[in-house]
Chain A
Amino acid sequence: MSVLKKLSSCVREYKRPSLEAPIYVIGEVIFEALIPYTIALLVNEIKDGRGIDRILHYAWILLAMAVASLIFGYLAGISCAKASCGFAKNLRHDVFYQVQEFSFSNIDKFSSASLVTRLTTDIQNIQMAYMMIIRTAIRAPLNLVFSFAMAFYMGGSMAMIFLLVIPILGIGLYAVARVTMPLFKKGFPKYDALNESVEENIKGIRVVKSFVREDYENEKFHNASEDIRKIFTKAERILALNSPLMQMCMYSVMLFVLSVGSKTIIASNGAELDIGQFSTLLTYSFQILTSLMMLSMIFVMITFSAESAGRVCEVLDEKSTITNPEHPVMEVKDGSIDFEGVSFRYASHSERPVLENIDLHIRSGETIGIIGSTGSAKSSLVQLIPRLYDVSEGTVKVGGKDVRDYDLTTLRDSVAMVLQKNVLFSGTIAENIRWGDKNATDEEVKHVCMLAKADEFIDKMPDGYNTYIEQGGTNVSGGQKQRLCIARALLKKPKILIMDDSTSAVDTKTDALIRKAMKEYIPSTTKIIIAQRTSSVEDADRVIVMDNGTINAIGTSEELLRTNEIYREVYFSQNKQGHEEEPSVETKEVFA
């Protein structure tokens, strides 16, 4: 029920067409029911040979009815289109806006791919169902009732046959729907999986060919495809029973009406039933059975979309795990950072915390390097500073205040973060850089590009700062992309700048130049640099060595070289060949 309530709140400005559509449908149905009746009268006039005047009389009535029915049908079609497309628009809008409020953990919970599916395929299913509901779901039962009433009116006791046939057909159709639905539900995910495996093969064609696995892949695909064929053939064969079932009912009614009807007409000499009424009865039988068929389709459709509706509502119901405090602090005093007894886990039920008992104090303006093997929770540590995730225990303070007390926008404007898995958006280079500050002048944009050492290659591009970046940034190299991402973050003029392995694809010399420029131009900004290369952190004020979710050591590069085993190993693996000791630390789980 809550699902329906939630969804119906998205109808909003399309309430009017949503309500109008059924009204027009009612009009359409009334005329559709009356037209065969009038036709019966017309046929009788012709049969009785009453002449053209009487024929014209009914012809006009019929014409008027057809036009009226056309208008209603037309209006119903339009308002229905408006209502369903509008509803889908609002629904997409609400879900998208909801995602904008999500925290990182919310996004992790659903995964980006699943959010995209919910916004696209699922909402499309719901739109179809909505259209069906406001149009056919009212039309079919109404049609049924009207036709039924008319059949009784015209055929009297003969219409009793419907009381017999309708339950049989109804039960039959319901049974078919009930049996096929689980099959379809089983089949569709397999179909999706098949398509995913095709995509995997396209993406990995070089691997497939390198390992000479074409036959293996063909067989794998064939088996999956065969599996799908079996399920869908079974489902469709059962579904295909609908049509003979429907025909059977139709034929039974026909035979019944013909044999009993002809007797009634002749025996009563047309008093109880005349020929016109007799033909019309046949028309109504057809309408009654068609309506039943439609009802069964609606039943299937609604059941299918109910799953989609459930998935969409899950998103709408999700509470963001990170929200603004009631009386937020609107200014970040300085760039100092304090971790006090911080523990962190991504999910409350995970056994082992990712970060454990971290105490760390960083002064405003300091440059901090962080080193550690894959999976030592370097990224997790820094993501707590702009409150991308909330700590599980302890506090993280920025500018002396708990990050949870700040206004989120204020905090994140002051703490710029260059993410490890970074993206550029489709648009020009300048537009991408201006993500940092919409109102930045061209000079400011150029300045940050100069700091990030991106200006040289941008100038070499044919359209310079107006060069269009394709979706996903596919037309710039990895190193260029990283430098653009740094420039974008610099434009925010942050108090704290965090670079999470953001120069890994940049060569060492440029890397050094970027660090030098930052030192010169933004000396008061606190800088935190996560790196794999020791050369990137060598000139930092202090270097933190992370190991397995804890701080292993803190100190200057020289100090650590003397005292810290891990740092020495990393350093020598990159610089000198003289180091022969066996590295003892294993790679750990990674939370990228």
Chain B
Amino acid sequence: MKKRAGKGTVKRLLKMLFEFFPKLLPVIICLIVINAVISALPSVFQQRVVALIQESWEQGLSWGESRPGIMKNVATLATLYICSLLAGFAYNQLMAVFTQGTLAKLRDAMFSHMESLPIRFFDTHKRGDVMSYYTNDVDAMRQMISQSFPQLLISAISITTILCIMLYYSIWMGLVIVLGSFVSIAITRIVGGKSARYFIAQQKYVAATEGVIEEMINGEKVIKVFNHERDAEAAFDKANNELFEAAFNANRYSNTLMPILNNVSYIIYVFVAVVGGLLIEYNVPNVSISGLPISIAVVVPFLGMSRQFAGMIQQISPQINSIVMGLAGAERIFALLDEEPETDEGYVTLVNATEKNGKLEEADYNTGVWAWKHPHQADGTITYEKLRGDVRFFDVDFAYNPNKMILHNITLYGKPGQKIAFVGATGAGKTTITNLINRFYDIEDGKIRYDGININKIKKSSLRKSLGIVLQETVLFTGTVMENIRYGRLEATDEECIAAAKLAGADSFIRHLPDGYNTMLDGDGSNLSQGQCQLLAIARAAVADPPVMIMDEATSSIDTRTEQIVQRGMDALMAGRTVFVIAHRLSTVKNSNVILVLDHGRVIERGTHEELLALKGQYYQLYTGAFELE
């Protein structure tokens, strides 16, 4: 937040706002200008009325005589007021539409851009940091767009207008006011500058205290089991007291800024009055555009203007903080929008197909048969290849960053109907291999072929559609159980979803839930056990019905008896399809066609369960419990 946002940010922000609302924004700016000018004008006519009254009084005119002149000005004033009201009304209404519209468009742009980013982005950015784009930064922008910018524009116009009027009357008097304003600005900077520092400190301690609260409340049950309540209280008190100090300092400064500025404006007022009096008293020659001599008629309007001037400065000063914060927010949001999205140069797509006389033809309805549509650039022909789920790795190397190879020379064949298992310690590269199949990451060297096609040529969306994945960390979305299962295939019927749940062994526990399949789940699945979440994730993948399935520790939290039920269902589902399994529990992988034992990114053993046992190598040691997987 300390970093000064550059001019580029302002320019880009304005450009973006203009692109969001190319018609509305100019109208709003016009209205702001009209408003500012109109609201400066009435005071001129007010002064004129006052002057007229003074005149009439001095000349001893009766009300009847002076009335036409006064009423003419009052009528002009009334007209101005009506214009100002209309302009003000229009401005306020449009501004509400503009602000909320901008926020909505901004959120949409951020979200859809975020969805397009590669997995790498999410690996390198903390969830809380990404969240704060949507909360803190958007909030700061809202404040700036809806209040600070217009206010600044209005104030700038008003100040210019008043300055012109001052020059018209008297430069000497104008100087007094300008000098006074500099004092006000200086005070704002001294007090306001500190306040900004204290506010940043306050933010820090708020975050620290919330951290303690979150940690303690989430660990409350452990605290109770260990009778640690008093220690938790002590840790909390420390954070809480620090927060109090910081918050007190921040609020002390912001609370006192207004009364100071307000009363300084009175002091300036007194100075203007005294200087005016002195100028009249000693008949100092006036310097002005109008050429008027210093007189009461000059000094009195100046007193009014000094108040107006001070008022403007008072309105600008609180905006400074919010503009600095708003621009910092905008800069961060732009940084997010500038992140390079996931590239996809693939052109082979997955299509519905019908098989006629052994030849595949594309179909525009759901046929249950899928084919790879492969346009050949060289001769412009299109060939169709049936989707079978044959995945092969040839000498694949991979590194998250170029200096540190994660996988070395991985070669493997996953034929339709086979179950291939990966076993190895944390960090051996099991999950990484599966992340290469669905192209969350791209390989460094070697080849991966899917049904004989280089996976780089396959469109990512088509590739991923053909893969079903159940991950170790099950993520469910806020919504009903049914919606969560249907996530696998949006057009699946209720019956198909229920069938998938039965297959995954989830049906019976779902029926025990308060509202069965319509039970609402929290995003984190906190009303389910970890095992139940996994069963749902399996059902979700089952409903997608893909030819290749990747199960990454998908049954780790399910007890072994339930796992067997699931296994049976999955085996039925996966008949004739390819399954990649990662599991800590060796009983899960025993019946695989091939088991690959990984160590530090290399395949050190491969074979069936029996073959590997006979080998008496690493797998044997793991199986007999002589070796630790952690």
Whether, in the assembled complex, A573 has its beta carbon less than 8 Å from a beta carbon of chain B, the answer is yes
Of A97-105, A140-148, A166-174, A329-337, the segment with at least 4 beta carbons within 8 Å of chain B is A97-105
Residue A363 lies at the interface, judged by CB distance under 8 Å to chain B: no
Bound-state CA distance A222–B115 (Å) is 13
Q: Per a CB cutoff under 8 Å, which of A63, A225, A248, A510 touches B85?
A: A248
Partner among B229, B232, B259, B263 whose Cβ is within 8 Å of the Cβ of A76 = B259
A1 in the interface (beta carbon within 8 A): no
Q: Name the distance in Å between A338's Cβ and chain B's nearest Cβ.
A: 21
Smallest distance from the beta carbon of A291 to chain B beta carbons, Å?
A: 15
A209 touches B464 (CB 8 A): yes
Assembly CA distance A247 to B66 (angstroms): 28
- Chain B residues with Cβ below 8 Å from A206 are 119, 440, 469, 471, 475
Question: Which chain B residue shows the least CB distance to A283?
Answer: B307
Known: A240-B93, A262-B53. A217 touches B115 (CB 8 A): yes
Least Cβ distance of B491 to chain A in Å? 11
* 24 A-B pairs in the complex with CB atoms less than 8 angstroms apart: A59-B274, A69-B266, A70-B264, A73-B256, A74-B256, A77-B255, A89-B241, A92-B240, A93-B240, A131-B251, A200-B478, A205-B119, A211-B544, A214-B116, A217-B111, A225-B111, A229-B100, A244-B92, A267-B63, A375-B509, A388-B221, A412-B227, A413-B227, A417-B225
Task: Please pick, from A70, A115, A375, the residue contacting B217 in the complex, using a CB distance under 8 A.
Answer: A115
Binds B, one of A156-164, A292-300, A501-509, A551-559: A501-509
A residues 409-424 near B (Cβ < 8 Å) are 409, 412-413, 416-417, 419, 421-423
Interface assignment of A198: CB less than 8 Å from any CB of chain B: yes
Q: Find A278's partner among B53, B62, B263, B528 (CB 8 Å cutoff).
A: B53
Taking a contact as CB atoms closer than 8 A, the residue among A81, A120, A255 that contacts B81 in the complex is A255
Cβ–Cβ contact B560 & A570, under 8 A: yes
B475/A203 in contact, CB under 8 A: yes
Mark each residue of chain B from 209 to 238: 1 if its CB lies under 8 Å from any CB of chain A, else 0.
Answer: 111011111111111111111011100110
Complex-state Cα separation, A196 to B467, whole angstroms: 28
Is A471 touching B215 in the complex (CB atoms < 8 A)?
yes
Q: Does B317 contact A (CB under 8 A)?
A: no
Contacts of A175 in B (CB 8 A): none
Query: Contact string, A548-590, partner B, CB cutoff 8 A, digits 1/0?
Result: 0000000000000000001001100110010000010111111
* Interface pair B104/A226, CB less than 8 Å apart: yes
Q: A200–B523 contact, CB under 8 A? A: yes
Cα distance, A73 to B261, chains bound together (Å): 10
Q: Report the bound CA distance from A416 to B228 in whole Å.
A: 13
Q: Is B554 an interface residue (CB 8 A)?
A: no
7 more CB-based (< 8 A) A-B contacts, given A69-B266, A81-B247, A583-B564: A81-B252, A82-B252, A85-B251, A96-B213, A254-B42, A258-B77, A577-B590
Selected interface stretch from B24-32, B324-332, B620-628: B620-628
Given contacts A202-B130, A278-B53, contact A423 B222 (CB under 8 A): yes
Q: In the assembly, what is the distance between CA of A119 and CA of B211, in Å?
A: 11
Knowing A100-B233, A206-B440, the reply to whether A266 touches B77 (Cβ < 8 A) is no
Q: Is B411 an interface residue (CB 8 A)?
A: no
Contacts of A509 in B (CB 8 A): 625-628
Bound form: Cα–Cα A199–B59 in Å: 76
Closest to B130 in A: A202
Partner of B101, one of A193, A233, A266, A426: A233
**A residues 467-503 in Cβ contact with B at 8 Å:** 471-472, 477, 479-480, 488, 492
User: Of A47-55, A395-403, A519-527, which binds chain B?
Assistant: A47-55
Q: In the complex, how many angstroms separate the beta carbon of B386 from the nearest chain A beta carbon?
A: 21
Question: How many residues in B have their beta carbons less than 8 Å from beta carbons of A?
Answer: 155
Q: Closest chain B residue to A485 by CB distance?
A: B222
Residues of B near A360 (CB, < 8 A) are none
A contacts with B: majority SS: helix
Shortest distance in angstroms between B293's beta carbon and chain A's nearest beta carbon?
A: 14
- B104 and A63 form a contact (CB under 8 A): no
Contact between B469 and A237 (Cβ–Cβ < 8 Å)?
Answer: no
B281 within 8 A of partner (CB): yes
Contact check, A240 vs B92: say whether CB atoms are below 8 A apart.
yes
Annotate B507-521 by CB proximity to A: 1 below 8 A, 0 otherwise.
011001100000000
Q: How far is the CB of A251 from chain B (nearest CB, A)?
A: 4
Which residue from B77, B122, B264 sits with its C-beta under 8 Å from A254?
B77
What is the distance, in angstroms, from B309's C-beta to the closest C-beta of chain A?
Answer: 15
Interface residue B61 (Cβ < 8 Å from any Cβ of A): yes
Tell me if B453 is interfacial: C-beta within 8 Å of chain A.
no
Contact A199 B523, CB 8 Å, known A116-B213, A226-B104, A583-B565: yes
The interface stretch among A35-43, A306-314, A440-448 is A35-43
Are A229 and B103 in touch, CB under 8 angstroms? yes
Task: Give the CA-CA distance A67 to B252 in the complex, in Å.
Answer: 19
Known contacts A202-B131, A386-B225, A590-B529: does B296 contact A585 (CB below 8 Å)? no
Contacts A212-B461, A509-B627, A583-B561 given; does A270 touch B57 at CB 8 Å: yes
CA gap between A533 and B299 in the complex, in Å: 94
B112 within 8 A of A: yes
Whether A47 contacts B300 by the Cβ 8 Å rule is: yes
Q: How far is the CA of A74 from the CA of B259 in the complex (A)?
A: 6
* C-alpha spacing A588/B258, complex, angstroms: 64
- State how many angstroms separate the Cβ of B264 from the closest Cβ of chain A: 8
Within 8 A of A (CB), among B549-579: 558-565
Contacts of B487 in A (CB 8 A): 207, 211, 213
What separation, in Å, do the CA atoms of A570 and B77 have in the docked complex?
91
Looking at the assembled complex, report how far the CB atom of A458 sits from the nearest CB atom of chain B, in whole angstroms.
Answer: 13
Contact A73 B263 (CB under 8 A): yes
In the complex, the answer to whether A81 meets B101 with C-beta atoms within 8 Å is no
B400 within 8 A of A: no
Report the Cα distance A509→B625, complex, angstroms: 5
User: Bound state CA distance, A237 and B90, in angstroms?
Assistant: 10
From the candidates A221, A247, A275, A492, name the one contacting B54 in the complex (CB within 8 A). A275
Assembly CA distance A28 to B57 (angstroms): 36
Residues of A close to B467: CB separation below 8 A:
210
Known: A104-B221, A107-B221, A275-B50. A255 touches B475 (CB 8 A): no
Give a binary string over B31-73; 1 marks a CB under 8 Å from any A CB, 0 the rest.
0000000000010001001101110110001110011001100
Chain A nearest CB, measured from B103 CB (Å): 7
A202 touches B122 (CB 8 A): yes
B306 smallest CB distance to A (angstroms):
11
Return the CB mask of B253-279 against A: 1 if under 8 Å, else 0.
001101110111011011001101110
A244 lies within 8 A of B88 (CB) = yes
- CB-CB under 8 A for A237 and B233, given A77-B255, A112-B220, A573-B560: no
Q: How far is the CB of A584 from chain B (nearest CB, A)?
A: 10
A197 at the interface (CB under 8 A from B): yes
**Cross-chain contact A52 with B281 (CB below 8 angstroms):** yes
Contacting residues of chain A (277-294) with chain B, CB-CB under 8 angstroms: 278-279, 282
Interface residue from B214, B274, B562 paired with A374 (Cβ < 8 Å): B562
Cβ of A392 under 8 Å from chain B: no
Q: B280 interface residue, CB < 8 Å from A?
A: yes
Q: Which residues of A contact B42 (CB under 8 A)?
A: 254
Contacts of B236 in A (CB 8 A): 93, 96
- Partner pick for A258 among B49, B224, B528, CB 8 A cutoff: B49
